[in-house]
Structure 1
Amino acid sequence: MSRTSIADLVLRTIEALRDATLPLTMPGSSEMEASRKQLLTQLESRILPHINEDDVPTIIVFGGSSGAGKSTLVNSIVRTEVTQASVIRPTTRTPMLVMHPSDHKVMDDHVLGSMGQSVFAASAIPGVVLVDAPDLDSVDDSNRELSARLLDAADLWIFVTTAARYGDALAWNTLRRAHERGVTCAIVLDRVPRRAMQSVRTDLTKRMVNMGLENAPLFIIADQGAHDGLLPENETQEIRAWLDMIATTNMGESLIDRTTRATLPALRDELLRLADALEAQEHAIQDLKDKALESVQPPLEKLRTNIRHGRFGQGAPTASWLSFASTGGVLSAMVSRNSPRLFDRKRTARDNAVTVTFDILYAALKVALSQALVTARTRANEAWRNDVVDTATLRAQANQEIDIDSIIEKSAQAWKNDLVQITQQVHDHPWLSPAGIASLLGCAAGGISGAISVARNSGIESYIELAREALLACVDDALAELSNVYVRVADEVSVCDSTQLRLRASEYLAHV
């Protein structure tokens, strides 16, 4: 594959990685997001620049824990104060990119420049950029993250530690991960008491062998005691000579090629792992939507069962009907005869009586619908709360958007409108006006047996089922509106399609 085609592949991979964010907080997502950022840094800061330019300097990052002496070491290598050493621990500062003025032009547009401050020194080594990175154990989260990004950008990582702290787990774990990713590493052991030189070297060498770093260069700097300024030149002479060799021979190019070759297999594997993580997030979103839809089913089924069995007509609605339909009541004649007597003038009174009864049933229905909606919301919240995804923000958004009172009013009013539409199909009724007929059908659909009998006797029994089905449809819509809020909130979580990452991973097969 030509250099141009490789550069094109890297650019397309960078684009895919920029899109491949992991918006859901779930097991493994933070690690995969860190991996995504790491891959971007490697491609943008290390691999792509070397593909596009032959004369890009070798990027050498000095990293380690606080107090290891990184800044003093960098200053001593270039023999001038280019980066500020501090006695405050942990040190929190801007990364310093130390380079020779001859490298200014080629590094001018390098993405590494956005991560720190460039410093030019005539005593620096042409062909290499020395990066004084923030402490791995900085108290500032952003500095720790920046330090990790700089290590990902390195062609070579020089791990700086001290005789007192070379056993720190954090630094060694970072060193292990860098080695596993194919980053070439060297180790500088600083501030070693001369009497402990041999024992410390022996122990450190054993650690390096166990980690597979037996071929990594090891430099030891003797403890200078309390002092200010640069280290004695003889203490850094070996390191400076090694860096000069990297810059003046093809060693730097070989180092870059070796690091890049070691990175590509891991890059392909990481792309596939990230694609799996994206699919896991897609599945998690679908699972949240399914749980929201499932949460409304039990309260909805209960509501539908009560409607089909006419339970909303029981109690107060039936009592109201009986009070109007008993002997002497305004509805008594309508209950006992098929048609009113001539010159009957009580139609308005009957309309009002049926409407009063319907209003009581209507209120009972709204209470039941409220209970169903509250139960459904509680079930959905609980289902999301117990999910592996951290849904706190999503739940808060959904609950802010849900207006149960509005859903109830809209749904109940929709049923009233449906009753009016159904009534328009009924011919003139002997006892009631169209408004009274609508209320009668509502009472019958709600389960008031006296209203059902009147509807049957007056030939409009067939419309009761229409009224009941309309009510069922309205409560379906009400519960669906609630669940759809959760679905909509989940849908607003944007997860990139994993296809592009898998395609890019397949294209790296030729390099594995």
Structure 2
Amino acid sequence: MTTQPTAVLDTFAEHLRALDLPLPLEGADRARADVSAALSQLGDHVIPRLESLDAPLLAVIGGSTGAGKSTLVNALVGEVVSRSGAIRPTTRRPVLLHHPADEPWFTGTRILPDLARVQMVGESGDRDPEAPGAGDTTGDVDPATSLALHAESRIPQGLALLDAPDIDSVAAGNRELARQLLRAADLWLFVTTANRYADAVPWEVLRTAAERDVTVDVVMNRIPEGTGVSEELSQDLRDMLEQSGIEVTRLFLVPETELDEQEMLPPAVVTELQRHVSRLAADAEGRGRIARRTLAGAVTALASSTRQIAEHAGAQEAERQRLRQEATDAFAGSRERIDEALGDGSLLRGEVLARWQDVVGTGELFRGLESLVSRIRDRVGLAISGRPAPSVAAEQALGTGLVHVVIDETARGAERADAAWRATASGRFLAKGQDLSRVPESFREEVAAGIRAWQGDVLELVRQEGSDRRTKARVLSLGVNAVGVALMVVVFASTAFIPTGLEVGAGAATAVVGQKLLETVFGDEAVRRMARVARERLTARLDALVAERSAAFLERLDALGEAGSDEQLEADADALEQLAHEIRETA
């Protein structure tokens, strides 16, 4: 066997604990239950058994409601140690009976670490806490989360009996606890009755035993008197077991028997079962074979379950990526439309155009420049109103127009993303409790601040480019704000910064004026460089603003935590299968 066989299991357990399957996909509930069951079995049985193959064998006594499990346990011990009765559920706190010398194996958390230990103390010695007059030394402990330990010298050393709750209990907690205990067993002693052995629930549980290659002994209880009845019922049960592929080591038959005043069975009816338990406890080699067989079967079953869990992990990751892509695509469309508005000159209409023409018409841009600009001014002609207005007003109008474009387009992106998410169960799960399509007031303020910051970038760019004496004089004669507005107009007019095909119309003419003005002040090459830098800085700020708006969606995905790796789980399954093979080889 591998040098550190539990290392495989420890790594596997870490991967399971890190696994998150939050989205409501088909089969996700079952997958989450499988993860929980796998972790439970690792801690309750597989890891502790692999670490201590010489520990006492744990035989769990399970079965349906009213099958007589507790009565059978009491008969094996020879006194009432587990409560039985007509009111259901009867057995709530499981009772583990062991030889006093085996006590160290069970008082700690070697197996079933999540169940608190309760030591039994009563007037007649160690007693079941739920038997009449019994008490415990740990106070009021929840029976569904605790395990009653009963040291009993009549239990042979090397084997322990665990009386489990009903597998079909009316209490959901008891049903799950029963299955947890059966997963922790080295050996099943399954109890049924002559009139209920064909019930669906016991067979479902028995099939899981077959899947995990658990050693199973079956007790058919309360067999009616009559010639040939016992033979007929037992044969029918054997046939059903064989047809279901369930291998049973031994089948014990207990006749319908009247109980005494202490609700005890006559010792004679369980003699064969007592002898079997004693022989098994005395056969160390036989116990080892059973322990290894069940352990190998449990590890193999874990490998199979892990592959199914891996499929669900992969489906969850694919769904996360799909939801992320839907949100990303929605806002990518918004970003593209913002760029279109910047590049097609649409921002140079309305209020922006009026304020820009006011700046041009006052002569503010042409004071002290060569006649080239004057000729450009003449070409603009009637498009210029001549009304005096400060260049700051044009700057503000440009900023306001861009803010409206950003808010409108990101709002449309949010509506598209929200609609796409709400079309699927997983998207509705993420959007639940929030109106992700609503534009927060804080975002409006962020957009306005971002655009103002970019305009500040443009003005700083103008100052830096006009640092030499001659250019600085020209910039100062026009005003930094006026030159800055001209650069913004160029950026908004065309992505290529050369407004070809737009020579007609007031908006196009003003864009030409802005570019020619800048070329006169800084030169053609410098204008192209300034426009490129200004556009890059605007692009970066717009990217950040759109990303900020899309964050409301993406953060919902990020809040799900790290998804488990299906490839990692597949590798775990391979390692588990190899470990199971090694366990069988050493058996």
Matched residue, 1:365: 402
Kept in 2, the 8 Å contact 1:271–1:505? The answer is no
User: In structure 1, what is the Cα distance between the partners aligned to 2:40 and 2:555?
Assistant: 34
Indicate which of 289, 292, 295 corresponds to 1:257. 292
Indicate which of 128, 131, 143 corresponds to 2:159. 128
Kept in 1, the 8 Å contact 2:299–2:576? The answer is no
Query: C-alpha displacement at 1:489, in angstroms?
Result: 5.4
Larger Rg: 2
Kept in 2, the 8 Å contact 1:17–1:36? The answer is no
Matched residue, 2:95: 96
Indicate which of 334, 342, 345 corresponds to 2:363. 334
Query: C-alpha displacement at 1:182, in angstroms?
Result: 0.8
Asked if 1:137 corresponds to 2:168, the answer is yes
Unaligned runs of 5+ in 2: 116-146, 371-385, 467-471, 494-506, 520-526
Kept in 1, the 8 Å contact 2:65–2:166? The answer is yes
Query: C-alpha displacement at 1:154, in angstroms?
Result: 0.7
Q: How does 1:54-133 map to 2 (within 5 A)?
A: 55-91=54-90, 93-109=92-108, 110-112=110-112, 114-115=114-115, 116-133=147-164
Higher mean alpha-carbon deviation, 39-48 vs 99-108, is at 39-48
Asked if 1:311 corresponds to 2:346, the answer is yes
Change (3 A) 1:17 1:410: farther
Asked if 1:239 corresponds to 2:273, the answer is yes
SS in 2 for 1:334: coil
Matched residue, 2:502: none
Kept in 2, the 8 Å contact 1:440–1:455? The answer is yes
Query: C-alpha displacement at 1:197, in angstroms?
Result: 5.2
Change (3 A) 1:472 1:187: same
TM-score, scaled to structure 2:
0.72
- Deviations, residues 164-215 of structure 1 (Å, cap 9, x unaligned): 4433323311210121111112223334444675654444333212112354
User: In structure 2, what is the Cα distance between the partners aligned to 1:29 and 1:128?
Assistant: 38
Query: C-alpha displacement at 1:333, in angstroms?
Result: 2.9
Higher mean alpha-carbon deviation, 165-174 vs 276-285, is at 276-285
User: In structure 1, what is the Cα distance between the partners aligned to 2:202 and 2:170?
Assistant: 15
Matched residue, 2:16: 20
SS in 1 for 2:79: coil
Indicate which of 242, 250, 258 corresponds to 1:209. 242
Query: C-alpha displacement at 1:96, in angstroms?
Result: 1.9
Query: C-alpha displacement at 1:23, in angstroms?
Result: 0.5
Residue 218 of structure 2 aligns with an amino acid whose one-letter code is I
Query: C-alpha displacement at 1:261, in angstroms?
Result: 3.9
Kept in 1, the 8 Å contact 2:486–2:515? The answer is no
Matched residue, 1:405: 444
- Deviations, residues 275-299 of structure 1 (Å, cap 9, x unaligned): 5555555555444444443332222
Q: How does 1:374-389 map to 2 (within 5 A)?
A: 374-385=411-422
Query: C-alpha displacement at 1:61, in angstroms?
Result: 1.1
Residue 361 of structure 2 aligns with an amino acid whose one-letter code is S
Residue 548 of structure 2 aligns with an amino acid whose one-letter code is E
- Deviations, residues 100-129 of structure 1 (Å, cap 9, x unaligned): 212112333322364323222233333221
SS in 2 for 1:124: coil
Indicate which of 139, 158, 178 corresponds to 1:147. 178
Matched residue, 2:254: 221
Indicate which of 480, 501, 508 corresponds to 2:572. 501
SS in 1 for 2:88: coil
User: In structure 1, what is the Cα distance between the partners aligned to 2:113 and 2:79?
Assistant: 21
Kept in 2, the 8 Å contact 1:191–1:222? The answer is yes
Indicate which of 331, 347, 353 corresponds to 1:296. 331
Residue 276 of structure 2 aligns with an amino acid whose one-letter code is W
Matched residue, 1:435: 481
Change (3 A) 1:369 1:139: farther
- Deviations, residues 475-510 of structure 1 (Å, cap 9, x unaligned): 222223344565565456224555462673474355
Indicate which of 196, 206, 214 corresponds to 1:175. 206
Query: C-alpha displacement at 1:441, in angstroms?
Result: 3.4
User: In structure 1, what is the Cα distance between the partners aligned to 2:191 and 2:431?
Assistant: 44
User: In structure 2, what is the Cα distance between the partners aligned to 1:92 and 1:394?
Assistant: 44
Kept in 2, the 8 Å contact 1:288–1:384? The answer is yes
Kept in 1, the 8 Å contact 2:355–2:389? The answer is no
Instruction: Give the percent of matched residue pairs that are identical in Structure 1 and Structure 2.
Output: 26
Higher mean alpha-carbon deviation, 154-163 vs 86-95, is at 86-95
SS in 2 for 1:67: coil
User: In structure 2, what is the Cα distance between the partners aligned to 1:319 and 1:170?
Assistant: 82
TM-score, scaled to structure 1:
0.81
User: In structure 2, what is the Cα distance between the partners aligned to 1:336 and 1:271?
Assistant: 74
Change (3 A) 1:372 1:77: farther
Change (3 A) 1:248 1:362: same
SS in 2 for 1:106: helix
User: In structure 1, what is the Cα distance between the partners aligned to 2:250 and 2:55?
Assistant: 23
Change (3 A) 1:130 1:474: same
- Deviations, residues 50-99 of structure 1 (Å, cap 9, x unaligned): 44445411111122333333233322321222223354434572322121
Residue 170 of structure 1 aligns with an amino acid whose one-letter code is V
User: In structure 1, what is the Cα distance between the partners aligned to 2:177 and 2:322?
Assistant: 35
User: In structure 2, what is the Cα distance between the partners aligned to 1:351 and 1:464?
Assistant: 27
Kept in 1, the 8 Å contact 2:57–2:160? The answer is yes
Change (3 A) 1:339 1:86: farther
SS in 1 for 2:562: coil
Unaligned runs of 5+ in 1: 342-348
Matched residue, 1:459: 518
Change (3 A) 1:374 1:253: same
Residue 456 of structure 2 aligns with an amino acid whose one-letter code is N
Matched residue, 2:144: none
SS in 1 for 2:112: helix
Number of residues of Structure 1 aligned to a counterpart in Structure 2:
495
SS in 1 for 2:221: strand
